[in-house]
């Protein structure tokens, strides 16, 4: 079998990059795309000037302004970003048909058996970067490796506007240097657990006794141990299977009572139904779930096995259970479905 060649392409501060392209006055100032700081806004992305002040995606706009008082926040234009994303994907398709988009600005490309550029994944990645900049006016970074995990890590290694290759002969040594925070699925809590065990890099994780790892991470321990060695057998999936479908809304003013939250359920259900119709989903639900974020920014999720025709009843029941866990004012509500793949039945969302 041929040595796999995977390219991971990731745009540099995508939304902000498009805005800086269209308005040069924004290029050298701290810039973020998101909602207003005085209306419960959240940052979608920030340029690299703003990141120097600690501004990050998913941060509340209010906190971002505290971090960087002279931050400029603009709402953005999703249609403009989709147009740029489409141009990027057209360029990807010039090199391979095995493309797995992860978001508007990010994708895996399997170029294992491609003869273009003398079969060099590195040369292909460089050509792709040049073409994207020429046609869209933004820059992207690329990572090249023998698997998806390492390619994704590599694309972030020389950001922005960089390229990094994990050469197979040097892969084992490179993996040891990867910080554990780069491992997919390791969140803040997981990092803290590993740090307490003296684990900071994949090299440290390789040395950790698997029994201890299992005690801390259960079934996820095997996956962690494999990634720590740079092992990732996942294929680039042209058609990715959606595992959930949801909608959520952040409210300008906290919802002060359970009743106020329950009144939002029909609106959220209708928005979820419209979204699924637009996506033409043919996947079946296996569970209902509800997400609640309280005014202290702590959040909780409740799930229950799906029963057709009981949507409203179950969403109400789960909402009550989630809110009762803290009984505090609520800033965000979300509801949705965990999904299973079955094309024989269209998911319908009747309102009772």
Contacts for 13 with CB less than 8 Å, ≥ 6 apart:
45, 46, 47, 48, 51, 160
Instruction: Report how many domains make up the chain.
Output: 4
On whether both 157 and 180 belong to a single domain, the answer is no
Whole-angstrom Cα distance, residue 92 to residue 145? 17
Question: Angle between the 220-228 and 210-217 helix axes, to the nearest 10 degrees?
Answer: 130
The verdict on 118 and 154 lying in the same domain is yes
Q: CATH number of the domain that 130 lies in? A: 3.30.70.270
> In the predicted model, is pLDDT for residue 275 greater than 70?
yes
93-117 b/e (C-beta count within 10 Å ≥ 16 → b): eebbebbbbeebbbbbbbbbebeeb
97-146 confidence digits (pLDDT tens): 999 998 899 999 999 999 999 999 999 999 999 999 999 999 999 999 99
Pairing of strands 31-34, 72-74: parallel
pLDDT of residue 280: 57
Answer yes or no: do 248 and 336 share one domain.
Answer: yes
- Do 30 and 54 belong together in one domain? yes
How far is residue 91's CA from residue 263's CA, in Å, rounded to a whole number? 46
Query: Residue 327 is part of a domain; what is its CATH number?
Result: 3.30.1490.100
Are 331 and 293 within 8 A, CB to CB? yes
Consecutive H or E run containing 21? helix 14-22
My answer on whether 178 and 138 are in the same domain is: no
Residue ending a domain, choose from 76, 99, 114: 76
CA 62 and chain centroid, separation:
22
Q: Are 33 and 22 in contact (CB under 8 A)?
A: no
pLDDT recorded at residue 40: 72
CB within 8 A of 54, min separation 6: which ones?
A: 67, 68
DSSP 118-180: GG-HHHHHHHHHHHHHHHHS--EEEEEESSHHHHHHHHTTT-SS-EEE--GGGHHHHHHHSBG
Tell me what pLDDT residue 271 has: 86
136 and 89 in a single domain? The answer is yes
- Each as own residue / partner, the long-range contacts of residues 196-203 (CB below 8 Å, 24 or more positions apart, any chain) are 201/176, 201/177, 202/175, 202/176, 202/177, 202/178, 202/227, 202/228, 202/229, 202/230, 203/175, 203/176, 203/177
pTM over 0.85, yes/no = no
Q: What is the pLDDT of residue 347?
A: 39
What does the block give as tokens for 309?
């025709």
Rounded Cα gap, residues 121 and 164, in angstroms: 11
Q: Is residue 238 part of a domain?
A: no
pLDDT at residue 350, as a whole number? 38
What does the pLDDT average to over 275-287? 70
CATH of the domain at 191: 1.10.150.20
Question: Does some domain include residue 63?
Answer: yes
* pLDDT tens column, 59-92: 889 999 999 999 999 998 989 999 999 999 999 9
Claim to verify: residue 180 and residue 220 sit in the same structural domain: yes
Q: Is residue 352 part of a domain?
A: no
Q: What is the mean pLDDT of the chain?
A: 89
In a domain, 346, yes or no: no
Range of the domain at 186: 173-228
Q: For residue 138, what pLDDT is reported? A: 97
Report residue 250 as tokens.
């952040």
Q: Are both 102 and 158 inside the same structural domain?
A: yes
- Residue 348 pLDDT > 50: no
Q: For residue 66, is it within any domain?
A: yes
**Does some domain include residue 348?**
no
State the catalytic residue, choosing from 52, 106, 248, 259.
Answer: 106
Residue with tokens 């359970």: 258
Residue 236 belongs to a domain = no
Tokens 């790892």 sit at which residue? 213
Which of 120, 140, 167 terminates a domain? The answer is: 167
pLDDT at 352: 32
Clarify whether residues 115 and 190 are in a common domain.
no
Active site residue 270: no
Same domain, 221 and 273: no
Where residue 50 sits, what CATH number does that domain have?
Answer: 3.40.1170.60
Using an 8 Å Cβ cutoff, are 117 and 19 in contact?
no
Q: Count CB-CB contacts under 10 A for residue 283.
A: 21
Give the confidence band of 343 by pLDDT, cuts at 50, 70, 90: very low
Residue 125 shares a structural domain with residue 146: yes
29 and 58 co-located in one domain: yes
Indicate the range of 103-117, 153-167, 238-252, 306-320 predicted with least confidence: 238-252
Which residues are annotated binding-site positions for Mg(2+)?
Answer: 10, 105
pLDDT value at 253 more than 90: no
Assess if residue 182 is contained within a domain.
Answer: yes
The pLDDT tens digits for 2-59 are 689 999 999 999 999 999 999 999 999 999 999 888 777 889 899 999 999 999 988 8
- The proportion of the chain whose per-residue pLDDT surpasses 90, expressed as a percent, equals 66
Angle, vertex CA 246, rays to CA 244 and CA 251, nearest 5: 150
Q: Which two tokens stand for residue 316?
A: 């109400």
Give me the pLDDT at residue 252, please.
76
| Of 41, 59, 76, the domain-final residue | 76
Q: What is the DSSP string of 244-278?
A: EEEEEEEEEEEE-SHHHHHTTHHHHHHHHHHHHHH
Kindly tell me if the per-residue pLDDT of 207 is higher than 70. yes
Q: Both tokens of residue 86?
A: 């489409």
Residue 2's pLDDT is 66
Find how far residue 306's CA is from the centre of its chain: 26
């Amino acid at each position: 079998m041929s040595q796999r060649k995977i390219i991971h392409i990731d745009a540099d501060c995508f939304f902000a990059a498009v805005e800086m392209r269209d308005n040069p006055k924004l290029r050298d100032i701290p810039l973020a795309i998101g909602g207003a700081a005085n209306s419960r806004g959240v940052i979608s992305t920030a340029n690299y000037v703003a990141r120097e002040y600690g501004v990050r995606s998913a941060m509340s706009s209010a906190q971002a302004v505290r971090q960087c008082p002279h931050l400029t926040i603009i709402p953005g234009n999703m249609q403009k970003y989709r147009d740029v994303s489409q141009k990027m994907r057209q360029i990807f398709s010039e090199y391979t048909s095995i493309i797995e988009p992860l978001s508007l600005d990010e994708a895996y490309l399997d170029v294992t058996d491609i003869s273009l550029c003398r079969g060099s994944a590195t040369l292909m990645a460089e050509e792709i970067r040049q073409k994207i900049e020429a046609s869209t006016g933004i820059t992207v970074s690329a990572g090249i490796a023998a698997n998806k995990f390492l390619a994704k890590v590599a694309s972030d290694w020389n950001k922005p506007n960089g390229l990094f290759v994990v050469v197979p002969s040097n892969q084992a040594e490179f993996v040891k240097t990867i910080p554990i925070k780069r491992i997919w699925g390791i969140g803040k809590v997981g990092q803290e657990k590993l740090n307490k065990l003296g684990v900071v890099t994949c090299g440290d994780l390789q040395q950790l006794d698997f029994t201890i790892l299992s005690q801390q991470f259960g079934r996820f321990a095997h996956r962690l141990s494999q990634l720590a060695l740079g092992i990732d057998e996942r294929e680039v999936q042209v058609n990715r299977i959606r595992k959930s479908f949801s909608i959520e809304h952040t409210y300008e003013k906290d919802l002060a009572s359970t009743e106020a939250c329950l009144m939002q359920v029909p609106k959220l259900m209708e928005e979820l139904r419209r979204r699924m119709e637009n996506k033409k989903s043919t996947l079946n639900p296996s569970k209902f779930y509800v997400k609640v974020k309280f005014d202290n920014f702590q959040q909780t999720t409740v799930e229950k096995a799906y029963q057709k025709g009981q949507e409203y009843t179950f969403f109400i029941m789960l909402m009550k259970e989630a809110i009762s866990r803290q009984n505090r004012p609520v800033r965000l509500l979300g509801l949705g479905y965990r999904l299973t793949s079955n094309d024989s039945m269209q998911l319908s969302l009747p309102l009772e």
